[in-house]
Structure 1
Amino acid sequence: MAHDPARWAAVAPPLLQPLLDALSDSPLAFACYGADRRYLTISQTLADLNGLPPQAHLGLLPTDVLGPELGGAIEAAAARVLADGKPYREPEQRLSRGEWSGVRYLDSSWTPVRGADGEVLAVLAVVNDVTDRHRIADLLGSTQWRIGKLQTVARELAGALTIGEVRAAVAKLGQVTGASRVDLRLLDPVGRSPWPSPMRPARSPESDEATPHRPGSPSAPTVPPQRASVPRTAVEDDRWEWRTLAWPALLAAAVRDGRPCYLSDRAALCGRFPEAGEWAASAAPGAAEQAWAVLPLSTAVGPVGGLYLAYDAPRGFDEDDRAYLQALAGQCTMAVARARMHEREHRQVVSLQEAILPKRLPPLDGIDAAFRYIPGSLDTEVGGDWYDLFAFNDGRIGMVVGDVIGKGITAAAGMGRVRAALRALAFTDPAPSAVLTGLDRLFDATENAESLTTVVYAVLDPGSGALRMSDAGHLPLLVRQADGRARYLDADEDEAATPLGLSEERREHEVLLNPGDVVIGFSDGLVETRDAAITVGLERLRTAVERAPLVDLDTLLDHLVDEMLRDQEQDDDVTLLAVRIGG
């Protein structure tokens, strides 16, 4: 940014120069004009737009630099603010100059710069080049372009698993439609309760606009309700009012009526809704929203919400435009329905897992125990993690952590079957190798290839400290020794074991633990990320265990969850089970 130091020092308030210096590296296009309307300062972005270096502007009138048409308009706007001291927004201008390739569209905001005594000393103008938005609007006339963009939007929405992701994809519709504002509003998913009867305004033959029912936001006109052609109960009115309280009035009306609403400019707004004339007349000439397309989102069971598109310049909506926008609305409707179904299934699977998994661990002699189970986030499918802890008649303890390979209801149900079978086999013969061999036979006889399951199972004698373990493709147990050091235990250090369903000879591994040692079993959701190999996660976990304060097991597990999941995107369920000897 460049400015005229001598003239600038005479008029610049102390706080303005630091602000403009902070903006100097931004893409913002702005200039400051003195009381004589000459340039005091100009940003590099605006100077580039004018096709001249910043220094070529300073001390000159805009007409000296830009010619009588554009320069005269700038001087007139500056003179207006200098005279009345009020902020001013210049309506969008269509301009063509020799230095530019084609036509440009600019809008600008003008703000007075006051001295300590309140006197207007200068004028700050911020210019916004909206040419690209017009180019996008022109491209809407191309059928091939529309189809390509519709496919792009469909791909974005098809990958959205949650309502939040749907909103993020819908936000990009502004780039596709040329809209300056895109707003997706959804009704609460309350099921198939009665809907209010549509409220129909008087229509012209070609009209497909609905009259708003209640006061709207500043961006949508306030229109008093008209008399309904079909009587409605007060309960229906109140229910609708409550559910759309924060919506733009046009959007609430379109969803309530079940028909799209297209308004090409403010004249069309006043023609369709005479009651909106006072609102439109009082709006500033340069107010942003000048045209609207509002579309309901409906499924077979009723409306789910609406799509609000606003444009900052008048525009027509021909038959192709309307078909295109309705196709976009259809894609949004399917994405919302799919996301709600996914979220509903996610809640069901979490509820199923929570019903199967123990809410608390049993009090067992000779040990302390704690667990953590954290379901995957909404944008991931819940898997089949489980944990278990139980005692045998001779005082030994069975400890299990497993994971059914798969997602959703199928994985959760499979986890329940395997957990029950493991317990039954363990109480018949507690030996880890015998239990996993029995599970292999069960899988060979009853489960399919999609039900592969990893599990680590150990039997601990709290009196002697002997721990015998066997695993089927699961991650190793981690031992934090009483002296603070941590190490991994593998049932077979020479060869990785296969999951259940891929039968092999199951081996056992025995270690001797000391009082105060803590054995930790965990699932891959704790250590596996998209950006790093699992070996990196395992080393991070070992380091976190060694650094953890061991006040009690709950504190230890909270520390591990925080250390491992902080700043990480959780892609899977997370399960931990910790047992300390000599508690």
Structure 2
Amino acid sequence: MSTETSVPPPRMSKLGAVDSALMDVLLSEAPIGFALLDSTGRFQRVNRTLAEVYGCDTAQCRDRTPAELLDRDPDRIAHESAVAAVLSGSGTVHSEHRLEGGPPDASGRPRQWALSWHPATGADGTVEGVVLIAVDCSDRFSAEVALRRSEERYRSLLTATNQVVWTADANGDVQEDCPDWRVITGQTAEQYLGRGWLDAAHPDDHEQVARAWTDAVADRTTFDEIFRVRTQSGDFRYYRSRAVPIMRGDTLMEWVGAHSDITTQHDADDMRQRLTQQLGEAALRTVRLQKATSDLAEALTVSEVVQAMTEIGQSAVGADTTTVGELDRDNLRLHVLRDDSAVRVPGGRVAAASAQADLRVAMETAVRERRPFIAGNPAELRELVEDDPEVLAFLRETDERAWVALPLLSAGQPIGALRFTFSAARDISDEEKVFLEALAGQCALALERAKLFEREHRTAEALQASLLPEDQGISMQAFYRSGTQHVQVGGDWYDAFPLPDGRIAGVLGDVMGKGIKAATGMSRVRNALRALAFSMPEPADVLTGLDRMFDATEGLDQVTTLVYFVLDPETGQIDLSNAGHPPPLVVGENTEPWLLAAEPDTPLGVSSERGHHKFFVQPGNTVVLYSDGLVENRKRAVATGLEELVTVASQARPEVVGDPQHMLQYLVEGMLAGYEQDDDVTLLAVHLPVLDTAPE
């Protein structure tokens, strides 16, 4: 028996047979689900659409309750509760529950059905059954799911990025509560609303943020500020607040914004900036150390080292004063090279005079403990010295506010101390401490080089001075200045000695090169020349003999030039031979200076016939022999230098002309002024004094 014949159709007395048939077709074939349940809650009629949702055919649904057709408890409960409500007179029931079933949709997902139950009444108005209508809401359900999923993702994104969404009206006042923000700040709703959210900003940031928000509201422009926010715990975190105006045409509707916690990013940026700054400072310290090393390498003497360190202390360290101290050989006295003062060290400890009370704690500790002494401010200094009365008195009188002293070590042993003072408190970082220790190491090396330089200088001066005869009726003076930064003894030399016949022999020469090789070559030539001069004193014969010696003992690369002369003090006659050397200069008291313009022969060792030149020098005149370092350098050719030499000599005052020592100093200062010395400078002056004549 079919449903149509077994169940009396609803009362449709006003419909004709055709209309009734049409209604049956519509209910049977419509895409919506339809069912009729009797007063016992059993299906009496179910169309095909709804039967497919239940997973059976229409015949299987008849006389069965929904609970008997449904597998899932939520579906059974939803049907039973709705049927019971309609039969009890509650009227139409629209269920929030969605029934899943039927053929899948186009995407292959199960269809979702919205259910509504309606009362079926008799003629007297009593409820005799329930009409169930199921409408396919799959598209709407999918949209709701997508919307819900999007909202969940959005909220998850906000949570993951530490963002709090907030809104404000067109006037910039917050009207809606934001619990997430209040959880962070600890504000109440009343404190938060309006513009109270700004009160959570750090006091130093509040005015700026409030002004920026007011300007953005007035101009209808994007608000974007970074500021610190006070949290419930009392700490401050960095937030970025950004809000945009929502416009509808020309009308501002509201503001929508987000607070983003950027504390981690801010800390990372701050760390990156600090690292960048530290790297930049490290690079700058490296450049400064290289510059300091270069400057110290150019310092020849101890005084030049002190001068260089003073300049380095100002430019590279920023110190107001720089002091270099040197220990004596017994390590008992510390000589402060800046002012040549000395400090006594009782029992082997560096002590300080009362005027240098701070020196005791700074340089003494650095030398004794072989480690840096650092006091960044007076309080640190007082703590280090345990309130020493002398230091306290010193602090009351000085403008110094920070002190650094470092030991100067050579082969691990102290040779002195380096001290910097500052007029403002100074925080010495570990990186700067390493830089200062490296600087002290370079200073120690420079000080050692300078001490060696000065020892060699004194040795060379004593050696050169011993070569001049003391009294032969003439006056002789010599001058020597090294042109090298690292070796004092070079290839320039001079010599003068009396001959058996009463004449004076003199020579000034230049062996190419510097150091031991040049010095030993110079020694061999000098000794050979003396030996030859006593056996055959004439200049041409001496140079010829030197040529033979040179071929036998010296290498082809050993270039040597010299001027050798023999002077008769009684007549003023000079016999001279020149082996490739600049010509001698003659300076007279009453005449213009001139060069003994004899054509020079070749340097020693180059085979040629040696020339012999004869000149007469008047009493009161001075003959000056010199090396090429006086007239030639990188910026001046030899020919130009010779012309300038005559010009400078012509401008000498009479008292200078008559004093060979002053004459040599005058020539050196005049010729080297404005030029960088790059070669040794050696001069030998022979002065014939004016003899007093006896009255007739």
Could you say whether these structures have the same fold, taking a TM-score greater than 0.5 normalized by the shorter chain as the test? yes
Could you tell me which residue of structure 1 aligns to residue 418 of structure 2? Answer: 307
Amino acid at match of 2:383: G
The Cα shift of 1:333 comes to 1.4
Q: Which residue of 1 aligns with 2:371?
A: 259
1:322 and 1:177 mapped to 2: Cα distance? 13
Q: Kindly indicate whether the alpha-carbon contact (under 8 Å) linking 1:289 and 1:313 is maintained by their aligned counterparts in 2.
A: yes
Q: What amino acid is the match of 1:578?
A: V
Counterpart AA for 2:472: P
The reply on whether 1:423 has 2:535 as its aligned counterpart is: no
Check 1:487–1:246 CA distance in 2 against 1; reply closer, same or farther (3 A cut): farther
| C-alpha distance in structure 1 between counterparts of 2:356 and 2:682, whole Å | 39
Shift in alpha-carbon separation, 1:160–1:244, aligned structure 2, 3 A: farther
Match runs of 1:114-513 below 5 Å = 142-175=281-314, 177-188=316-327, 190-191=328-329, 193=330, 234-236=346-348, 240=351, 248-249=359-360, 250-275=362-387, 288-300=399-411, 302-355=413-466, 357-363=467-473, 369-376=474-481, 381-383=488-490, 384-393=492-501, 398-407=505-514, 411-448=518-555, 451-459=558-566, 467-479=574-586, 484-492=591-599, 496-501=600-605, 503-511=606-614, 513=616
Q: Distance in 2 between matches of 1:413 and 1:358?
A: 20
Aligned position for 2:225: none
Give me the whole-angstrom Cα distance separating, in 1, the residues matched to 2:586 and 2:298: 41
Q: How many residue pairs are counted as aligned between the two chains?
A: 399
Q: Kindly tell me: are residues 317 and 277 of structure 1, through their superposed partners in 2, closer, same or farther at Cα, counting changes over 3 Å?
A: farther
Q: Secondary structure at the match of 2:529?
A: helix
2:549 is paired with a residue whose SS is: helix
Separation of aligned partners in 1, 2:316 and 2:588: 62
Equivalent pair of 2:400/2:424 in contact (CA under 8 Å): yes
Q: Measure, in 1, the Cα distance between the counterparts of 2:323 and 2:643.
A: 44
Native 8 Å contact 1:157 1:169 kept in 2: yes
Within the candidate set 636, 655, 659, 1:555 is matched to 659
1:391/1:244 CA distance change after superposition, 3 Å: farther
Distance 1:181 1:552 in 2: 43
Aligned residue number for residue 565 of structure 1: 669
Query: In the alignment, residue 522 of structure 1 is paired with which amino acid?
Result: L
- After superposition, what is the alpha-carbon deviation per residue over 1:438-461, rounded to whole angstroms, capped at 9, x for unaligned? 212222322346653321123456
Q: For residues 31-76 of structure 1, what are the alpha-carbon distances to aligned partners after superposition, in whole Å with 9 as ceiling and x for unaligned?
A: xxxxxxxxxxxxxxxxxxxxxxxxxxxxxxxxxxxxxxxxxxxxxx
| Residue 419 (structure 1) shift | 2.3
Could you list the per-position Cα deviations for residues 464-511 of structure 1 after superposition, in whole angstroms to 9, with x for gaps in the alignment? 87654321121213345796244322442xxx533324x130431434
> Mean alpha-carbon deviation: is it higher for 318-327 or for 451-460?
451-460
Q: Give me the whole-angstrom Cα distance separating, in 2, the residues matched to 1:149 and 1:549.
A: 46
SS in 2 for 1:275: coil
1:85-104 → structure 2 map (5 Å cutoff)? none
Contact 2:575 2:613 (C-alpha < 8 Å) held by counterparts: yes
Deviations 1:293-335 (A, max 9, x none): 2211122373222122233433433332222221111111111
**Amino acid in structure 1 at the alignment position of 2:498:** F
Hey, what's the Cα distance between the residues in 2 that align with 1:388 and 1:259? Answer: 54
The alpha carbon displacement at 1:179 in A equals 2.9
Q: Secondary structure at the match of 1:313?
A: coil
Structure 2 match to 1:113: none
The 1-side partners of 2:585 and 2:395 are apart by: 68
Distance 1:359 1:382, change over 3 A: farther
Q: Displacement, 1:409?
A: 5.6
Q: Distance in 1 between matches of 2:356 and 2:518?
A: 41
Task: Determine which structure has greater relative contact order: mean sequence separation of CA pairs < 8 Å that are 6+ residues apart, divided by chain length.
Answer: 1
Q: Computing the radius of gyration over CA atoms, which structure comes out larger, 1 or 2? A: 2
Residue in 2 that maps onto 1:538: 642
C-alpha separation in 1, matches of 2:531 and 2:378: 74
Match of 1:375, SS state, is strand
SS at match of 1:185: strand
Distance of aligned partners of 1:517 and 1:263 in 2 relative to their CA distance in 1, 3 Å threshold: closer
Q: Runs of 5+ in structure 2 lacking a partner?
A: 1-276, 335-344, 692-696
For the 8 Å contact 2:402–2:422, the answer to whether it is kept is: yes
Name the CA distance, whole Å, in 1 between partners of 2:668 and 2:470.
23
Residues 1:425 and 1:550: Cα distance change in structure 2 (over 3 Å): farther
> CA separation of 1:182/1:397 partners in 2, compared to 1, >3 Å: closer, same or farther?
closer
Q: Deviations over 1:174-223 (max 9, x none)?
A: 455543324232224x33x3669xxxxxxxxxxxxxxxx9xxxxxxxxxx
Q: Which residues of structure 1 form unaligned runs of 5+?
A: 1-137, 197-212, 214-232, 364-368
> SS where residue 323 of structure 1 aligns?
helix
Between the aligned partners of 2:346 and 2:396, the Cα distance in structure 1 is 37
Aligned to 2:30: none
Secondary structure class of the residue paired with 1:172: helix
Name whichever of 483-492 and 419-428 sits farther off. Answer: 483-492
How far apart, CA to CA, are the structure 1 residues paired with 2:603 and 2:633? 21
Using a 3 Å threshold, how does the CA distance of structure 1 residues 346 and 564 change in structure 2: closer, same or farther? closer
Specify the SS of the correspondent of 2:293.
Answer: helix
Q: Is the 8 A contact 1:436 1:506 kept in 2?
A: no
1:179 and 1:468 map into 2 onto residues whose CA distance is: 62
2:91 corresponds to? none
Deviation digits for residues 515-566 of structure 1, max 9, x if unmatched? 6484614113554567644444433443565566779985356345435525
> Whole-Å Cα distance in 1 between the matches of residues 297 and 517 of structure 2?
23
Distance 1:379 1:305, change over 3 A: farther
For 2:586 and 2:479, locate their aligned partners in 1 and report how far apart those are by CA, in whole Å. 22
* SS of structure 1 residue aligned to 2:290: helix
Q: Percent identity?
A: 34
Q: SS in structure 1 opposite 2:481?
A: coil
Secondary structure of 1:314's partner? coil
Q: TM-score, normalised on structure 2? A: 0.49
RMSD: 4.4
Deviation for aligned residue 1:172:
3.2
SS in structure 1 of the partner of residue 416 of structure 2: strand
What is the rounded CA distance, in whole Å, between the counterparts of 1:148 and 1:547 in structure 2? 46
1:274/1:561 CA distance change after superposition, 3 Å: closer
Q: How far 1:463 sits from its partner (Å)?
A: 7.9
